Amino acid sequence: MRMVLGVAAALLALGVTQLAAVPFGPGADARNAVGSTVIDHTPGPVKEWAIQTFGTADKLFLTIAIVVVILVLAAVTAAAETRRRPVGSIAIAAAGVAGAAAVLSRPEAGLADVIPSLLGAACGVAALRMLLRERPSDTERRRALAALGVLAVGVVGGVAGVAWSRRLNSVEGDREAFAAPTPQAPAPPIPDDVQPRGVTLPSFVTSNADFYRIDTALVVPQLPRDQWKLRIHGLVDREITFDFDDLADFELVEKVVTLTCVSNPIGGDLISNAVWTGYRVRDLLARAGVKREADMALSTSSDGFTAGTPVDALTDRRDALLAITMNGQPLPPEHGYPARLVVPGLYGYVSATKWVVDLELTRFDRAQAYWTKLGWSPRGPIKTSSRVDVPRSGQVVPVGPVTLGGVAWAQNRGVRAVEVRIDDGIWQPAELGASYSGDTWRLWSFPWRAEVPGVHTVTVRATDNTGQLQTEQYALPVPDGATGWHEVSFSVR
């Protein structure tokens, strides 16, 4: 029974914290702050494992895990609470202080943002003491009812608080009101023959809904355009801060760029292609004047993620963008609304900062970024790679003609050739969808005749436009991207 009382009191504390946070805005969200603190202090390999195991559901898993830990602690300490040693009360109070500390450590928080956590903890302690007080008139049933009441208030308050903050802080209205300007420099049209016929492959342009998503944000940052600013500072001639309207001074460029995550395993799907519009980072940097000694731009997001990008990659002819639209829409909130970086040829962890608000010109021998501090390589050029999409592993292919296919990529170089091998046969050239640009993936197909029933394998390898053949050498994603040939087994029947 005492354990149940502890859980009820803890839930009340969490619920009050969440509800009280509503008027304070996103910075006061203790759930986000604690979760983000846990994410930031999770060892790199564990993060990598979570991304591989849960994909985008990793955040849900984390939230559930944290709540379970809190409730278990509350139950155990409440059971041990005595008048002389109020361990349960102390635990709740300590959790409140820890929550407040987590809140304060976040880039988006102010001093007043600790109030909800402290208030929640105070309510939790008061509830626990009330519930544990033994009065002769109390029956077991009355105490259970009181506990149930406290628990219900906590749960309802918490759910209402989360839903209410979400509505209040949502950028959805701001985003819908944003009439994105037409690009002055449009991208060349995408020809139909980028998409091979006779086989169902991923669409050359990935829809916003299907685009892979990777970030450390537990709650998607909600940053309205009128609160967005981009500060450019560090090794520059003059520090400069742009607000969103200032961007209209620059030429809006449209580009088709394939993004890839360094965590993408061989055969994985952390790769997608979109049409972006944005401003050349080169043009923005020119206003500030980059000093010669600067070789890295350290970008920071509103939620404190950082990436270190070579200055060359931001200023050369690949036209790295401060992107504001994705496939004709304002950026979806989870893809960086209102502005993010898109740098062709580099993995996302060193370049693609979403909700970007700060660019510091610095040096690789001075600064480290979010993932490089965790042991990932400071530079992250995308490796030449390819994937079999059809058939899927274990798929049954009927005897007769069939078209196999997949994707290949070598951003900033382009794919020149794709070869396919069935079982231990010879490498044969695949047919290639039209090449759109060196910055986009290339779809391939391979007409084949399934003749011999049984298990077969298909292996793929790409060659990029520098003549470099995709390496067979197997490597894990850590520290600078997976390598090896993708092989799929399937059965012919």
Ligand X SMILES: Nc1nc2c(c(=O)[nH]1)N[C@H]1C(S)=C(S)[C@@H](COP(=O)(O)O)O[C@H]1N2
- Taking alpha carbons only, the member of 133, 137, 138, 98 closest to residue 118 is 98
Q: Residue 247 touches which of Mo ion, ligand X, none (CB < 5 to 8 A by kind)?
A: none
Q: Structure tokens of 257? A: 């760029």
Q: Which stretch binds Mo ion (CB under 5 A): 64-72, 159-167, 306-314, 340-348?
A: 340-348
Q: Which of 22, 109, 214, 367 is in the footprint of ligand X by CB under 6 A?
A: 214
Q: Residue 212 touches which of ligand X, Mo ion, none (CB < 5 to 8 A by kind)?
A: ligand X
Q: Structure tokens of 428? A: 């044969």
Q: Is 271 in the site for Mo ion (CB under 5 A)?
A: no
Q: Which of 204, 242, 279, 349 is in the footprint of ligand X by CB under 6 A?
A: 349
Site for ligand X in 243-302 (CB under 6 A): 259, 261, 301
Site for ligand X in 107-136 (CB under 6 A): none
Q: Residue 124 touches which of Mo ion, ligand X, none (CB < 5 to 8 A by kind)?
A: none
Q: Is 409 in the site for ligand X (CB under 6 A)?
A: no
Site for Mo ion in 214-253 (CB under 5 A): 214
Q: Which stretch binds ligand X (CB under 6 A): 180-188, 205-213, 286-294, 377-385?
A: 205-213
Task: Using CB under 5 A, count the residues that bind Mo ion.
Answer: 4
Q: Is 348 in the site for ligand X (CB under 6 A)?
A: yes
Residue 451: Cβ within 10 Å count:
10
Instruction: Round to whole Å and give the CA distance between 357 and 184.
Output: 24
Instruction: Round to whole Å and give the CA distance between 396 and 436.
Output: 32
Q: Is 211 in the site for ligand X (CB under 6 A)?
A: yes
Instruction: Round to whole Å and give the CA distance between 57 and 50.
Output: 9
Q: Structure tokens of 431? A: 């047919």
Contact 299, 359 (CB under 8 A): yes
Instruction: Round to whole Å and give the CA distance between 348 and 381.
Output: 10
CB of 299 to ligand X, least distance (A): 8
Q: Which stretch binds ligand X (CB under 6 A): 207-215, 310-318, 383-391, 481-489?
A: 207-215
Q: Is 352 in the site for ligand X (CB under 6 A)?
A: yes
Q: Which stretch binds Mo ion (CB under 5 A): 153-161, 195-203, 213-221, 295-303?
A: 213-221
Cis before 338 (ω within 30): yes
410: phi then psi, degrees, rounded to nearest 5: -160, 65
Looking at the Cβ atoms of 10 and 261, the one nearer to ligand X is 261
Cis before 391 (ω within 30): yes
Residue closest to ligand X when measured from CB atoms: 348
Alpha helices in 81-197 (DSSP H): 87-105, 115-132, 140-169, 172-176
Q: Which stretch binds Mo ion (CB under 5 A): 1-9, 179-187, 344-352, 469-477?
A: 344-352
Q: Structure tokens of 429? A: 């050239």
Q: Residue 335 touches which of ligand X, Mo ion, none (CB < 5 to 8 A by kind)?
A: ligand X
Looking at the Cβ atoms of 305 and 490, the one nearer to ligand X is 305
Contact 346, 450 (CB under 8 A): no
Distance between first and last Cα of the chain: 61
Q: Which of 24, 212, 444, 446 is in the footprint of ligand X by CB under 6 A?
A: 212
Q: What is the DSSP string of 237-296?
A: SS-EEEEGGGGGGSPEEEEEEEEE-TTPPTT---EEEEEEEEEEHHHHHHHH-B-TT--E
Q: Is 355 in the site for ligand X (CB under 6 A)?
A: yes
Residues engaged in binding ligand X (CB under 6 A): 211-217, 259, 261, 301, 303, 305, 335, 348-349, 352-355
